[in-house]
Amino acid sequence: MAIIPDMRTSSAGKTRMASADGRRGDFMTSLAKGLEILAAFEVGHPLGNQELVAITGLPKTTVSRITGTLASLGYLRLDEQSRKYSMGARVLGLGASVQRHIGLLRTARPHMQRLADELDIAVILGARDRTGLVFLEVIHPPRNALTINTDAGSVVPIERTSIGLAYLVAAPVPERVHMLQALRDAHPDDWEDIRGVVERAHKDYRERGFVVSQRGRGGLISGVGVPMVLGSNGVFSFACVGPSIQLSEVRLVQVLGPRLVETVSAIGQAMRAAERG
């Protein structure tokens, strides 16, 4: 999957961004030049600054500044002997992250659909986005007219949702400490309440294997959440959510929670089997 702009070759053999014509008012030239440098590495071998000048048509001083910056940030790697650059770990990590998300979505979707059909409830898969959880997939209930008004791409607060709390309880300790500090800084007046919610989530997860959020997001939404830790591939979280008026504590704890645990376990097994295969 491409993570850089489309590039076209001019008659002079130099590349330019396809979007250069009719640029938007928010077009950032400096960022565009950096992406153009990264795009040059599609040739598949290391490149020096002079080669990048020839490929991109950018001035030598501009290329030198950009490659130096990209190397310092980890997006390019400089070989000291040849003085040539290759793609760094951060670019490769972005590509791997995209592929992991695609593989997880492909594996999880049929399991999520079966659970939504069985329980007539919305089933969601999410991943962290700073101090929020972004929805990667949302399976809506097939029959229930009352459902959540959200879709893939939506972002919800970590500290007030079952899917967010499920991520938080399973996150690596350094990441968890960072998130909690960010929440404390962002919500100083509500921090004691947030800390209590997080502590209850940890207790739920230890005792039940899932977290419960009743009447979250303004009192309208309730749900259960279960994290999935895919080794070095990171943490994701799943949730079954719906209108609070339909979800009693008994249904959340005795039905939705256990079934979501089973579903996430099956997805995890399928992911590991796919990796071995």
Residue boundaries of the structural domains of the chain: 7-87, 95-276
Please give the pLDDT value at position 190.
93
Q: Residue 18: which pLDDT band, with cuts at 50, 70 and 90?
A: very low
Mean pLDDT of the chain: 84
d(CA 126, CA 146): 21
The answer on pLDDT for 17 being more than 70 is: no
d(CA 26, CA 28): 6
Q: Which fold has domain 7-87?
A: Arc Repressor Mutant, subunit A (1.10.10)
Q: Residue 24: which pLDDT band, with cuts at 50, 70 and 90?
A: low
Under a CB-based contact definition with an 8 Å cutoff, are residues 105 and 125 in contact? yes
Please give the pLDDT value at position 100.
66
Q: Which fold has domain 95-276?
A: Beta-Lactamase (3.30.450)
Residue 178's contacts (CB-CB under 8 Å, 6 or more residues apart) are: none
The answer on pLDDT for 189 being more than 50 is: yes
- Kindly report, residue by residue over 121-168, the tens digit of the pLDDT: 999 999 887 788 888 899 998 887 666 777 887 888 899 899 999 999
Q: Give the helix ranges, DSSP H, for the chain.
A: 29-40, 49-56, 60-73, 89-119, 162-170, 173-186, 191-208, 249-251, 257-276
Under a CB-based contact definition with an 8 Å cutoff, are residues 76 and 39 in contact? no
Give the pLDDT mean for 104-114: 94
The answer on pLDDT for 53 being more than 70 is: yes
